[in-house]
Each structure stands twice: as structure tokens, then as C-alpha cells.
A and B are shown apart, each in its own frame.
Chain A
């Protein structure tokens, strides 16, 4: 039995009974209450979509790419990589589950809340939403994944799905081939969010030809004989289009200056709410962070946070100064920014301005917008080398001068309250004169 969900980007998305049960689970339904782009609707009013529809979209796109490859390359997958029908069926189901659940670990307001995640003592690095997604799969979704009658056919464990999402262990071996569909520079995640975010923002920057992309993807071999997903030579331009779409979306939407200010304010407001909630709990040391994704109890508390709860508390006046800024739409204003590709001179100037603002007790904050929107090297998209022999691939950057020349975005900005804007600009002018 299959069900269908209508989606604004992909039309009808088919789901199985098993997937339907997972989607109906409160943990997945929580994604309806996590906005995809946080407060972006303050700039692009249509951007009120959520992680729920994006997660369905990623599962759908990944399945389409998988099906295209499994159909076109069936003979090759069977004869060279030892797949059979049940193996392919298993991997497809695994891929769909991982894609469906890859974002269940998002905090309220998606990436805006990631700055409030604790540091993993093992790595010295902050946890990310992927760690929460994997932990939620392990602790909260184990039963609904493992106990469904359809899983009798696959014997997929929650642990395997969690490992697929976080890429933590190589136990899935051959399934590793398909992980690129969830996490790579040509993955279903960005294939969906570029189209979806563009649609809801009302911009056309994120457009590319998904149908063309689908028919050009195949399985090839890396230079060291690893099977890998790659695109045919004829797909180079659609891959370029996807990369450019991402660049445009970053510079025009995700890194838009007012949007970045709202990310800062909402993170500050949530921090205030966390401190209040956790102040009386002696077991919590860092009271301005979300619980770590390392225990069922921590995950239970984490899942209680969503956009609705945060907004309710802000509306009730518990969000502190940042909450008031959000309620009154009095976001801080950008008074200084470096070019999108900051040079050492630009960064030093930004440092000097920041120091001067500190000295004069100007309130505000500094924002760093950084993204390497195409990575050369190991993560390069692979393209068939054109010889037709042995499915050899080469990096896209060796074939595309457009991709080879890409520079990452690296932009620093300084924001102050609107009342301080004129004074701040005078100080900036004085600092610039001093430098020159």
C-alpha cells in the first residue's frame, strides 16, 4: 500500500506504510514546527516553509536519482558490483529512511540555533544537527524503524540508519556508494533545498534542471578504483548550474545582511530562554546550551524545543532584550561590511573598527559569513572522463574552468542598534582615515 503527499516542488511524493508511520511519529511531526530558513521571512515574506516538507523532498529526490541509476546501470551494478534485486531494494529503503530522517535533529529555527549546541568533549568541536538526528534515530525512533512488519524484509536497524546519517562508521560498506546522495556536492539535500527555498522566497536564483541532472548520473570508478557516483560528460553544464544556483542563493538569500541579523537575535533570545529553563538544574553545567545528544533523557529535553515554544515564550516576554528586538522588528543594522572575498587588509580594518567600538562601548555584534560553495579535491564532483573506457572519472574542476575559478565567500559585517547607526558611521570614517 502506498500513500501520496502533494508537494509544491515535486508534485506527488509517494510513501510506504512504514514511512507513513515514521512520518506520523511526533518526532517527525515536530519538523512542521521548525522553519527551514528561520526568520528569512522578514526579508522574503514567502519563506515560511519548514523542515517537514524539505525532508520529504530530499527522500523523494534521492529515490529518483537512485532509481535512475539503478535502471540505467542495472547490468553494471549486477555484474561488476555484485548487486542483486534484493540488495538494491534494501539499499533503496535504507537511503530513503536516512534521507527522510536526516534533519530530525534540527534545533528551533534550523541553523540559527546551531550556535547553542554543546561542545563534543571527544572532538573539541560543537555538536551539529546531524549528531542530534543520529541520536534521535537511535533513542526515539528505534521502535518505529525496527518493529514495522515491512522491515521483516530488510532487517534494517536504527543504528544502521543513524550511522548512514552521521557517516560515523563504515559498516555499511557497499551502501557507502549511496551516501553521496545524502551528503556530497551533488546530493539530494541541496538538490531539494535550492529549488524549495527559491520557490518560497520568490527568487529564481536556485533554479537548475533537475530532470537533466537525473538522466546524467551514473556509477563510475575513482582513479583508485572505488565505485562512485558520477555524471556523464553531457551533464557538466547542469552540474555547473547547480553550483552557481547555490552560490547565488548563498549570496542573495542565506547571507543576506538583514537575515543574518535575525539569526543573531533569535540565537540570543533562545540562549536567554535556555538559561531561564536550566538555571535551577544543578546537573547542567553550561546553562545556555541545548542538552547534548548523548542520552535518551538529553534527547527528550531537546525535542521539547521547537519554533512554537520559542515564539510562545518570546511573546510572553521571556526572550530578554533579543526577544524584544524580534517582537518590535528593531533588528540591528549593518554599518560595515567587507567585500564578499575579504582580503587581509579588509579583515584588519574590520578588527580595528571592532576594537574601537569596544573601546567606546558601542553595543552590537560582528558576523562572519563564510561558505566554500564548491570544494575542489576529495569532494569534487566526478565526471566521466570521456574515453568511455572502464567508467573512469575525473574531477569536475579539471573540466570546468567556471568551477575551477570559484572563490569561497568570506565576508565580515558589523551591526549596531539603529539608534547608534549615525555615530557608528562617524567612528568608522575616522578609523578608515587613520588607516589611510
Chain B
């Protein structure tokens, strides 16, 4: 009756990703957080409970954006204006307090988080936007390589065909999408 419905597991994911990647990612901000959580949920099957829709910069969860703000307000993470108009996320003084409320969930999914960091942790926001959008597209529909590339470039004309082909090959090589027809495995 009086138990809390605060989503500590979700907050724990936000803090854990920050802990693991704040010094590894070339620009760990809100966009990178959005894409990593999307990939963690979609590819690695961690039940984060976030649902992403397609937004200006690729897969995006409004709820995750709110939760990032909530965790920042309780000083589990700190968000500051970084380079250009982006934001930079780092751990803040209460991060252990937040983590302590989600230890079990994080421990259960630690291996999957390790894999996410290994496979995607070094990408910047633009690279993650491209890869997560390709995953998003192939999740709901199977494509030929040409059609997937065309669809991606229609949505995001600032990516070159070469970049898109390279990312598709990489996702196939890593086993995240199947070969023709291209669809999520």
C-alpha cells in the first residue's frame, strides 16, 4: 500500500550507463544516453521499460528524458552545458544512493550492459544516431540493402550512402541484423 512506485530500476540504468561510459564516450550527453538505452532494450533485451519513437535525432523516449531530469534533480547525475549546444552527463554526489536502490536489477543485467558498452560505447552521438535508426527501421520491417539505405537517407539526408552502407555491414557482422532481407534478429 505504501510502497514506492518510483522507477528505481530505470534510474539505476541511467546511473550505471553514466558510470560506465562518462569517461569512455567521446561526448556522453542526452542523445548518447537515449541511443544506448534504446540499443540496450532492443538488441540486448534488457527490460528497461522504455519505449522509443522516431524523433529528430533518431529513436527517442520522452519518459527517459523525464527520468534523466529526475535523476539529475536528485543529484544522481549532473547535466551541464557541454560543447556547442549539447549537454554533458557525469555522475553526481548521490549516485551511490540511486544505485543502491536498483542493485539487483543492474546485477541481473550486468553482462548485457557489458556487451552494450563493448559494442557501442565508443561511438559518438552521430554514429549512434545512424546505427540506432537502422535498428529502429529494421525492427518493424524487412528491407533490401538499397531500400534501407534510401529510407535512411530520406529521413536523415546528412548521412552519406557510404556511411550508411558501412554501418549496415557492421551491424550485420556483429549479428544485430540479418542479411538480406535486412531485419532485426
The residues of A with any CB-CB pair to B shorter than 8 Å are 120, 123-125, 166-170, 173, 176, 222-226, 228, 341-344, 347, 350-351, 353-355, 357-358, 363-366, 368, 370-372, 375-379, 394-395, 398, 407-408, 410, 412, 414
Shortest Cβ distance from B12 into chain A, in angstroms?
A: 14
Q: Are B65 and A375 in contact (CB under 8 A)?
A: yes
Q: Are A372 and B66 in contact (CB under 8 A)?
A: yes
Q: Are A170 and B137 in contact (CB under 8 A)?
A: yes
Interface size on B, residues (CB 8 A): 49
Question: Which of chain B's residues 68-127 have a Cβ closer than 8 Å to chain A?
Answer: 68-70, 73-75, 79, 81, 84-85, 87, 94, 97, 126
Q: List 19 A-B contacts (CB under 8 A).
A: A124-B48, A168-B140, A342-B74, A344-B97, A347-B4, A357-B2, A364-B2, A366-B5, A368-B5, A368-B6, A372-B66, A375-B62, A376-B87, A378-B55, A378-B57, A378-B60, A378-B65, A408-B69, A412-B4
Report chain B residues within 8 Å CB of A412. Answer: 4, 6
Q: Are A354 and B140 in contact (CB under 8 A)?
A: no
Q: Are A366 and B2 in contact (CB under 8 A)?
A: yes
Q: Are B2 and A358 in contact (CB under 8 A)?
A: yes
The residues of B with any CB-CB pair to A shorter than 8 Å are 1-6, 29-31, 34, 41, 47-51, 53-57, 60, 62, 65-66, 68-70, 73-75, 79, 81, 84-85, 87, 94, 97, 126, 136-137, 140-141, 151, 154-158
Q: Are B154 and A166 in contact (CB under 8 A)?
A: no
Q: Are A123 and B51 in contact (CB under 8 A)?
A: yes
Q: Is the interface of A mostly helix, strand, loop or mixed?
A: mixed
Q: Are B140 and A377 in contact (CB under 8 A)?
A: no
Shortest Cβ distance from B20 into chain A, in angstroms?
A: 20
Q: Are B73 and A224 in contact (CB under 8 A)?
A: no
Known: A169-B140, A344-B97. Contact between A376 and B30, CB under 8 A? yes
Report chain A residues within 8 Å CB of B50. Answer: 123, 125
Q: Are B85 and A375 in contact (CB under 8 A)?
A: no
Shortest Cβ distance from A80 into chain B, in angstroms?
A: 12
| A343-B126 Cα distance, complex, nearest whole Å | 35
Known: A341-B73, A358-B1, A363-B1. Contact between A372 and B54, CB under 8 A? no
Interface pairs A-B: 7 shortest CB-CB: A354-B2, A377-B30, A167-B53, A372-B66, A372-B69, A124-B47, A375-B65
Q: Are A408 and B70 in contact (CB under 8 A)?
A: yes
Report chain B residues within 8 Å CB of A377. Answer: 29-31, 65, 68, 87
Residue of A nearest to B67 (CB): A372
Residue of B nearest to A222 (CB): B56
Q: Are B1 and A365 in contact (CB under 8 A)?
A: yes
| A355-B29 Cα distance, complex, nearest whole Å | 37
Shortest Cβ distance from A87 into chain B, in angstroms?
A: 15
Report chain A residues within 8 Å CB of B34. Answer: 378
Q: Are A366 and B51 in contact (CB under 8 A)?
A: no
Shortest Cβ distance from B185 into chain A, in angstroms?
A: 15
Tell me which of A125, A166, A176, A351 has the highest count of chain B C-beta atoms within 10 A of its own C-beta.
A125
